[in-house]
C-alpha cells in the first residue's frame, strides 16, 4: 500500500463505540438510540446516549429520507421531541431544495442574451 492510500484509510475508533438500538411506532418514523460502550462492549457511563430520528417525507420527486438528531436524556424524552425535530428537519430540507432550485434556475441559458452564436462553427457552410 502506498502512503497516500494509507493516509486516506479510515480508522475505526475503539474509544467511540456505540451500541445501536432501533425503536419504531410503525407509522411515523424510527428512533435510533446509540448507547456508548467501551472497547469490550460494556456500557460507558461517562458518555450520554445519543438519539437520532428517521422519517420519510413524500415529495414530487418521490420519498425523501430525513435523518435528524433528537435531544433527550432518555427514550421517553426523545419520543416527546420527535415531532418538533422532524418538523425542523422538513423545514431545513425545504430550504435546501429551494436553494438548489434557485441555483439551477440561474444557470439556465436563454437564447439571444449574449454569449456565443450557435452553429456548427464551419465558415461558409
Q: What is the pLDDT of residues 72-89, one digit of tens each?
A: 999 999 999 999 999 999
Return the SS3 of 65: strand
The model's pLDDT over 84-107, given as tens digits with 9 standing for 90+, comes to 999 999 999 989 989 988 888 887
pLDDT digits (tens, 9 = 90+) for 23-70: 999 999 999 999 999 999 999 999 999 999 999 998 888 899 999 999
Cβ neighbours for 94, distance < 8 A, ≥ 6 positions apart: none
Tell me how crowded residue 104 is: count the other CB atoms within 10 A of its CB. Answer: 9
- pTM, two decimals, is 0.72
Rounded-to-integer distance, Cα 71 and Cα 91, Å: 18
The pLDDT of residue 106 is 83
Amino acid at each position: 500500500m502506498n502512503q497516500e492510500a494509507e493516509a486516506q484509510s479510515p480508522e475505526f475508533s475503539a474509544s467511540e463505540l456505540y451500541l445501536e438500538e432501533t425503536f419504531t411506532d410503525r407509522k411515523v418514523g424510527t428512533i435510533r438510540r446509540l448507547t456508548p460502550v467501551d472497547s469490550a462492549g460494556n456500557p460507558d457511563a461517562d458518555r450520554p446516549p445519543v438519539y437520532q430520528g428517521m422519517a420519510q417525507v413524500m415529495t414530487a420527486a418521490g420519498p425523501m429520507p430525513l435523518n435528524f438528531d433528537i435531544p433527550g436524556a432518555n427514550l421517553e424524552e426523545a419520543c416527546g421531541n420527535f415531532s418538533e425535530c422532524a418538523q425542523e428537519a422538513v423545514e431545513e430540507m425545504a430550504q435546501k431544495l429551494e436553494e438548489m432550485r434557485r441555483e439551477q434556475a440561474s444557470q439556465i441559458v436563454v437564447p439571444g442574451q449574449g454569449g456565443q452564436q450557435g452553429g456548427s462553427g464551419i465558415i461558409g457552410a
